[in-house]
Structure 1
Amino acid sequence: MLELTQRMGQVESAEIFDSLTLPYELRIRGRLRATTDNGTDVGLFLDRGPVLREGECLQAESGEIVQIRAADEPVVTAEIANGLAMARLSYHLGNRHVQLALGQTDDQTGWVRFPPDHVLEELAERLGATLKHHQAPFDPEPGAYAKAGEGHSHGHSHENSHGQSHSHAHGHAHSHSHSHSHDHSHDAENDHAH
């Protein structure tokens, strides 16, 4: 069994020993036993966190390089006009805190791809998207924080000085469809901090 322990990013195709095709749910795992596309048994022993992306390569302790492929799996692709319509669709689907893949069909049309979910599908149709249920690779956006190497943390702490009002703005556009007020009076609840 090849033990794949090192992330390589993209490498020259001449260096690639084999490929490993996995669905999204397995590409988010750091530990995994699998069989490559050419029948070699491999074990993944990777740091947790970053999702294995289409085309990313892993190296075995013995030097072999295996390239990751995103498997075809059941997805819904919502096509919609580029511009404001695409932005609105992406915003409302993303506000549901689900993984989304984004792309462009042509200059006039974009798409948002997600796992089948009747609530998301209904929302997308209400916003004017045309849905297609099919099998395709699902390689969702990693997110701005993941690109910066910060994992999945939103990086906002709620420290405040006593006596100042505490607004609940997060610095990332996530408004929630349910209403709730954030009147944080800091008298009795924070007395333990003194």
Structure 2
Amino acid sequence: MLTLTRLKPPDVNAVVNFTLPLTAEERTRSRHRFKLEDGKEIFLRLPRGTVLHNGDILADDNQINFIRIVAKPEPVLTVIAHTPLLLLRAAYHLGNRHVPMEITPNYLRLSPDSVLHTMLEKLGLKIKEEVVPFQPELGAYGNNHSHS
């Protein structure tokens, strides 16, 4: 089994042996066994608290094998508002519930939740159910994205 221990910055020109599609939750696992599409197993042994991002490159200790992380499309709710203030209000209410959220100037994105869906609709927001890559914020106390 291939053990990956090093995190490299994204490099579109890097030669990789494999790609590993992971959901947002899977990209927070620093020690975990995954199966590649061809059935080969790999083990992540990264520093605790490492959060992977789309495009990151992982390598083994010998830096012979390289794997590119790909943000795997997953079910999400995309929240759109008619005004910036309404989007800010939604972010406030979701943040108050410690909901992992992707924040952009034009939309918020979160994992599907029927209670939150109803709350957001009552606030007057438009919600789209989608299957897309999801990159939630790390939060104020989250690990900074560092590379070895």
**Normalising by the residue count of structure 1, what TM-score does the alignment of the two structures yield?**
0.66
Does residue 1:51 correspond to 2:47, yes or no?
A: no
Identity of aligned residues (%): 37
Q: How does 1:129-168 map to 2 (within 5 A)?
A: 129-146=125-142
Q: How does 1:26-175 map to 2 (within 5 A)?
A: 26-37=26-37, 39-63=39-63, 64-104=65-105, 110-146=106-142
Larger Rg: 1
- Whole-angstrom distance in 1 between the partners of 2:67 and 2:47: 17
Amino acid in the other structure paired with 1:21 = P
- Is residue 34–residue 41 contact of structure 2 (8 Å, CA) maintained in 1? yes
Cα 1:81/1:38, change in 2 over 3 Å: farther
Q: How many residues align?
A: 144
Amino acid in the other structure paired with 2:125 = A
- Whole-angstrom distance in 2 between the partners of 1:37 and 1:140: 25
Q: CA deviation at 1:44?
A: 0.5
- Is residue 28–residue 50 contact of structure 1 (8 Å, CA) maintained in 2? yes
TM-superposition CA deviations, 1:41-67 (whole Å, max 9, x none): 211111221321111221112312211
Structure 1 gap ranges (5+): 105-109, 150-194
- Whole-angstrom distance in 1 between the partners of 2:56 and 2:24: 13
- Is residue 49–residue 143 contact of structure 2 (8 Å, CA) maintained in 1? no
Q: CA deviation at 1:148?
A: 5.1
Higher relative contact order (CA 8 A, sep 6+): 2
Cα 1:141/1:58, change in 2 over 3 Å: same
- Whole-angstrom distance in 2 between the partners of 1:37 and 1:82: 43
Q: CA deviation at 1:143?
A: 2.1
